[in-house]
């Protein structure tokens, strides 16, 4: 179901609209505006700083582990290398088990998942298995899948998505080849994979699952979906004879994501990030098409430098006006 009005952020624009509609008494408007623009209390600042430092500390410790093995590679025996990483995995996994759903426990589980990749890399180097790099990332994703499925932690799901994307890219490069036609089909595959993850997240978030209510994760997945499709669509505009039908499919899928962006914006009553992302992609396509016509078809290289800035400025003006109209129509703040 669409987001309830009471679940929307209490922005000054919405409060004034509610006052005009007589939902909020005019005498209470000043107090409501004061509460909506007040700074967070000290407890919230402490939680934010604590969470930020915990995340940064976890990433720094993990990077330190990787650099430790890289620096001391020759001095450590193979059993020492794998034993230390296995002990670290066991320790972080036990920490995650003990701390449970706390943020510290979730980061312990994330550390365990990252260290699994380090263990696979050390094993492959110590025994010279001859495995291709894509097999490392695919195996890594498969091994941590049970942890990811039980974690209820979006960053760990994002790690799985990144591993799947990396494995697919390396598989195409190392097994299938890197021709332009295959690259466009790779873009289609990445778009479908990430689009499926994006749609799945939105579906379960709509079911009001508590840990899926943050909006940063679907926005990242939307970028991961659109980016490869946009690259293939750009190639279709610039070199249509070399990229093949995969680029056409990518262009069609890209327009499908535009429709999804607009539907989500209307359904969630103000998802302006996704709407802006779609507008930026459309502006990129239009600018590229105009530039190609001027340079390749009309051979007006000097004129292009004069016309394209006006094309971009016109598009920006239209986009800003339309986005503001959509924000007013859905009651969304322009910062959302």
229 assigned to some structural domain:
yes
Q: Above 50 in pLDDT, residue 163?
A: yes
Q: Determine if the pTM surpasses 0.85.
A: no
Q: Above 50 in pLDDT, residue 100?
A: yes
Q: Which of the four pLDDT bands, split at 50, 70 and 90, describes residue 327?
A: confident
Percent of the chain with pLDDT over 90: 37
Q: How many structural domains compose the chain? A: 1
Mean pLDDT, range 308-321, rounded to an integer: 92
What confidence score (pLDDT) does residue 276 get? 92
Please state the φ and ψ torsions of residue 241, each to the nearest 5 degrees: -80, -15
256 assigned to some structural domain:
yes
Q: Taking CA 94 as the corner, what is the angle to CA 88 and CA 95, rounded to the nearest 5 degrees?
A: 90
What confidence score (pLDDT) does residue 81 get? 81
Q: Which of the four pLDDT bands, split at 50, 70 and 90, describes residue 145?
A: very high
Mean pLDDT, range 83-88, rounded to an integer: 88
What confidence score (pLDDT) does residue 332 get? 62
What confidence score (pLDDT) does residue 279 get? 94
Q: For residues 95 and 59, what is the distance between their CA atoms, to the nearest angstrom? A: 16
| 37: its two tokens | 């623009």
Range of the domain at 270: 203-336
What confidence score (pLDDT) does residue 141 get? 94
47 assigned to some structural domain:
no
Instruction: Say what the alpha-carbon torsion angle 101, 103, 106, 110 is, to the nearest 10 degrees.
Output: 170
Q: Using alpha carbons, select from 275, 284, 280 the residue that is nearest to residue 336.
A: 275
Q: Above 50 in pLDDT, residue 183?
A: yes
Mean pLDDT, range 160-179, rounded to an integer: 89
Percent of the chain with pLDDT over 70: 91
Q: Above 80 in pLDDT, residue 121?
A: yes
224 assigned to some structural domain:
yes
120 assigned to some structural domain:
no
- Radius of gyration, alpha carbons of the chain: 25
Q: Which residues contact 8 (CB under 8 A, 6 or more apart)?
A: 14, 269, 270, 331, 332
What confidence score (pLDDT) does residue 287 get? 93
What confidence score (pLDDT) does residue 1 get? 43
301 assigned to some structural domain:
yes
Q: Are 167 and 144 in contact (CB under 8 A)?
A: no
99 assigned to some structural domain:
no
Which has more pLDDT, 259 or 265?
A: 259
91 assigned to some structural domain:
no
Q: Above 60 in pLDDT, residue 211?
A: yes
Which has more pLDDT, 155 or 270?
A: 155
Average pLDDT in the chain:
85
């Amino acid at each position: 179901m669409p987001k309830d009005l009471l679940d929307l952020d209490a922005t000054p624009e919405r409060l004034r609209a509610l006052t005009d509609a007589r939902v909020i008494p005019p005498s209470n408007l000043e107090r409501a505006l004061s509460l909506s623009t007040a700074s967070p209390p000290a407890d919230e600042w402490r939680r934010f700083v604590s969470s930020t430092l915990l995340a940064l500390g976890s990433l720094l410790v993990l990077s330190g582990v990787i650099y430790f093995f890289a620096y001391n590679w020759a001095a450590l025996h193979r059993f020492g290398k794998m034993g230390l990483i296995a002990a670290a995995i066991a320790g972080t996994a036990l920490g995650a088990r003990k701390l449970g759903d706390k943020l510290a426990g979730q980061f312990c589980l994330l550390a365990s998942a990252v260290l699994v990749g380090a263990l696979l890399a050390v094993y492959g180097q110590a025994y010279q298995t001859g495995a291709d790099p894509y097999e490392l990332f695919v195996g890594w994703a498969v091994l941590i899948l049970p942890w990811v499925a039980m974690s209820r932690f979006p960053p760990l799901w994002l790690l799985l998505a990144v591993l799947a994307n990396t494995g697919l890219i390396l598989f195409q490069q190392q097994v299938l080849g890197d021709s332009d036609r295959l690259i466009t089909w790779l873009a289609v595959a990445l778009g479908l994979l990430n689009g499926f993850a994006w749609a799945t997240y939105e579906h379960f978030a709509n079911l009001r699952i508590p840990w899926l209510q943050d909006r940063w994760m679907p926005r990242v997945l939307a970028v991961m979906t659109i980016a490869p499709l946009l690259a293939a669509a750009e190639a279709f505009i610039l070199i249509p004879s070399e990229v093949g039908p995969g680029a056409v499919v990518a262009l069609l899928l890209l327009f499908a994501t535009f429709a999804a962006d607009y539907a989500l914006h209307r359904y969630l009553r103000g998802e302006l990030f996704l709407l802006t992302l779609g507008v930026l992609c459309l502006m990129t396509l239009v600018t590229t098409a105009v530039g190609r016509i001027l340079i390749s078809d009309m051979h007006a290289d000097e004129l292009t430098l004069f016309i394209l800035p006006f094309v971009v400025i016109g598009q920006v003006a239209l986009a800003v006006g339309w986005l503001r109209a959509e924000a007013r129509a859905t009651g969304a703040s322009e910062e959302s």
